[in-house]
Amino acid sequence: MGAFLFNYLRHMTTTINTQDLFAKSVLLSWDHAVGQATAFFDKCTDEELLQQIAPGKNRLIYLLGHLAAVHDRMLPLLDLGDRLYPHLDENFVSTPDNPAATLPSTQELRKAWTAVNERLSGLLRHWTPEEWLQRHTAVSEEDFAKEPHRNRLSVVLSRTRHISYHLGQLVLYK
């Protein structure tokens, strides 16, 4: 009986540590990608943000607004509360970059980027491994029962790749 309990507890400790490792790895990847994008945008002047990455391509300000809006949409998707900046969707999610569009100021977009990511990262840090594996709000309970991989973890991984994709575009500018 003692050996069984010892092996069971050792297995549970290993499982918990492995689950924690997965969650921490995803969070580190998220923080790294957000940090890289933040560093890029912080180095840009307001005038540079108005420039196109390459002729005929998105402007830097569009990518800043786009990423801020997409991350803002993560809050309700991950069941973390209401959005902070839903008005960004019109210019940065629903439509492609339009140099003739009236956009929020670079200061407002920088503030939105910082606020949304601070809120997301702060909330994600407190999740247990089990919370990472809960369904996100865009999937029904019935569908989630059939496809448990449609969870919060997959959303954060997807959005981390999304940042990396746009970082690849931003590198072309510099």
Residue-wise pLDDT for 28-80, tens only, equals 999 999 999 999 999 999 999 999 998 889 999 999 999 999 999 999 999 99
> Domain for residue 4, yes or no?
no
Mean pLDDT value of segment 165-172 = 93
> Domain for residue 97, yes or no?
yes
> Domain for residue 3, yes or no?
no
> Domain for residue 93, yes or no?
yes
- Residue 5 scores a pLDDT above 90: no
> Domain for residue 18, yes or no?
no
CATH number assigned to the domain comprising residue 86:
1.20.120.450
Nearest of 102, 99, 93 to residue 73 by alpha carbon: 93
Q: Give the structural domain span for 108.
A: 24-173
- Please state, in angstroms and rounded to a whole number, the distance separating the CA atoms of residues 24 and 36: 18
Per-residue pLDDT at 17: 76
Instruction: Give the number of domains in the chain.
Output: 1
> Domain for residue 72, yes or no?
yes
DSSP at 93: T
9 and 17 Cβ atoms separated by less than 8 Å = no
> pTM of the entire structure?
0.88
81: left (phi over 0), alpha (psi -120 to 50) or beta: left
> Domain for residue 1, yes or no?
no
> Domain for residue 77, yes or no?
yes
- Please state, in angstroms and rounded to a whole number, the distance separating the CA atoms of residues 139 and 132: 15
